[in-house]
A and B are shown apart, each in its own frame.
Chain A
Amino acid sequence: MNVLKVWERYWFPPASLFNLAVTRLIVVGFQVFWLLVSGHHTALMLRATTPDFLYQPLPVLRLLTLGTGLRPSASLLSLIFMLTIVAGVAALIGFKTNYTLFGFAVGALFMQAFLYSFGEFHHPEAIMMIALVALAFSPCGAVLSVDDLMRRQKQNAAESQFQPALVTQEQSRLALWPLRLVQWLFVLIYLSATISKMTTGAGHLDWMNGYTLQYYMLQDGLRWGSPLGVWLSQSTGLAVILSCVSIIFELTFFLVVLFPQLVWFYIPFGVLFHTSIYLIQRAPFFTFLALYAVFIPWNRVAEHFQRSAPTRKPAIFFDGRCPLCIRSMTTLNYFDWGERLEYYALETHWSRLHMLHPEITLAAGLQEMHILLPDNTICTGYQAFREIWKRLPAFWPLVILTYLPLASAIGPQVYRWIADRRTRFPDECATGVCMIHSPLNK
């Protein structure tokens, strides 16, 4: 009974959904990117023409082909590749997250298992496959997703008012287990690597004799064309030091799971470790770097930015009776993880703006969005959006667009066009009965 409680406390405590969601963004984003740029499709096509006698489907591939182990054709592989990418992009943005992520995980697993069904397999992708499946069964789309944003927009629209929320503080008892699972898989993987090094060959410490690493650095340096590997392979002393560092890192990695505060030592060191291995031996363990996301307390990183936010923040004054404005504020607030902005509905906070800028009438305020900057200057409409986007990293790509030629001419017109056609809740809304009707200018 106690063991079960300890188990439940360890795997299912209330934990940050934000951490899980950021991990989804990094892991799925990486995997989609990697499938697209690493020649995955080309590799599939090469395998499609590999002689039949080399084809030995892995058990997991047999399982995915319903026990048949049938060899898929090149066109079917292309189709699976495309569907997997589509599912991956949907999972990345968080659209029907669990379903699309499950599809993405199965597609990625199928393709990788197929590639490894020709008598050759490698290690970097294995943990990624397990992690994707685990994420698919978790609430990783509960925040930072289109699903969640739409839910909040619907909720605010139904309540006819904008309710600010901070996604970094959302919690769930199902938010930690996938992260802890991958953390322990890392421990077992590094332990596996160390045990292999210490138990293969004649003497347990022979692996650290320097010659071993020299041998592998030259072998891979020549095979994959790494001048750095070839150069480093000349020094036995340096190879001894690098060998010892590798063993210590792998053998003690479990400490970062037991003492999470060590994350700021082990994870940067792990990044350095795998990057060095890539530069020296071209062994591409980039999946490990992406999966290190499971160790980072992203909510604390966001809180750090919240704390470092200036005390005087830009204040947005918006039309609180306009559904489009409520949706816009919900969206901006959704990505305001550092609490960089304040949000005020003009109907209830008009005096705040009027006190500093008596020249602005309420009608003008309702005509277009106003933002009061920390130096008390005012920006309106399109310019206001530009100022807001500058402060929210998720919108930085849009900021670049606003600096394109003609953007300053077209942008305000687009804003005006949309603003003039937006609807408002009728007055009855204040009594709880809300209907959307006539545009402002009618």
Chain B
Amino acid sequence: MERIKKAAMPIISLGVGLVLVFQAAVTFRLLCPPARFGWPQLVCEPAGWPFVHYPMYSLPHYPGETLNQYSVYGLLPNGREVMIQPQDLGLTVFQFPAVVEALLTEDRALIKTYVTAYHARVNRQLSGLRLENKAMVLGKDGWQDGKTEIIKQVEVD
């Protein structure tokens, strides 16, 4: 038994070493340095998952910044409208900004794909999508409520 353990140690050591070196390389962004450095990006996220770096919530924010709260509405042929939730399109909350982006950039092909996905999942035909935003402004005395605005309205065939 002791001999088996002795034999296992070098193999385990190799595994431990590789795991730590890879995680350290990811931690210090050696495999995917920020683009501004101009260094080669060998393995960028999420390609190395489960070895990832942890940049969540790292972007600093300053007074005067706006927090956008987007809502997407589907326009029905009868003139009514319905609020679209991420799960209606088979998406998660984190994927939903792609829909907002498609509307902001008026990417009609992508919008059409989402409308088709909505029809397939909810069995409702949409004639268009509307993007609304209720912005809040970060001030020195806390948050200031903004007003709701219609940002985009895109009709689909």
Contact = CB atoms under 8 A, between A and B. Distances in A.
A7 B16 CA distance: 11
Interface stretch (B6-14, B74-82, B100-108, B122-130): B6-14
A193 B54 contact: yes
Nearest to B6: A173
B90 A206 contact: no
Contact of B60 (A46, A200, A223): A200
A209 B138 CA distance: 13
A192 B121 contact: no
B54 to A, nearest CB: 4
Contacts of B67: 215, 218-219, 222
Given A109-B50, A185-B19, A177 B12 contact: yes
B38 interface: no
B90 A223 contact: no
Contacts of A209: 60, 62
Interface string B95-125: 1001000000000000001000100010000
Given A137-B12, A209-B60, A233 B140 contact: no
B123 to A, nearest CB: 14
B12 A113 contact: no
A207 B58 contact: yes
A215 B142 contact: no
B24 A121 contact: no
A322 to B, nearest CB: 32
B95 A126 contact: no
Contacts of B60: 200-203, 206-207, 209, 211-212
Interface string A30-70: 00000000000000001001110110001110000000000
A46 B93 contact: no
B133 interface: no
A134 B122 CA distance: 43
Interface in A85-141: 109, 112-113, 116, 118-123, 125-127, 129-130, 134, 137
Given A181-B16, A218-B67, A118 B54 contact: no
A215 B20 contact: no
A189 B54 contact: yes
Given A51-B117, A116-B49, A177-B12, A123 B54 contact: yes
B49 A58 contact: yes
A273 interface: no
A293 to B, nearest CB: 19
Contact of A215 (B50, B56, B61): B61
Given A54-B95, A211-B63, A188 B50 contact: no
A234 interface: yes
A197 interface: yes
Interface string B138-157: 10101100000000000000
B59 interface: yes
Given A7-B13, A192-B27, 8 more contacts: A118-B95, A123-B52, A185-B20, A196-B55, A197-B57, A201-B60, A211-B62, A215-B138
20 contacts: A8-B13, A49-B121, A58-B46, A60-B49, A116-B49, A122-B94, A126-B49, A126-B52, A134-B19, A137-B12, A174-B9, A181-B16, A184-B20, A188-B27, A189-B54, A192-B53, A212-B57, A214-B138, A218-B143, A233-B143
Q: Which 5 A-B pairs have the closest CB atoms?
A: A196-B55, A126-B50, A215-B61, A206-B60, A196-B58
Interface of A: 7-8, 11-12, 46, 49-51, 53-54, 58-60, 109, 112-113, 116, 118-123, 125-127, 129-130, 134, 137, 172-174, 177, 181, 184-185, 188-193, 195-197, 200-203, 206-207, 209, 211-212, 214-216, 218-219, 222-223, 233-236, 283
Interface of B: 5, 8-9, 12-13, 15-16, 19-20, 23-24, 26-29, 45-63, 65, 67, 69, 87, 90-95, 98, 113, 117, 121, 136, 138, 140, 142-143
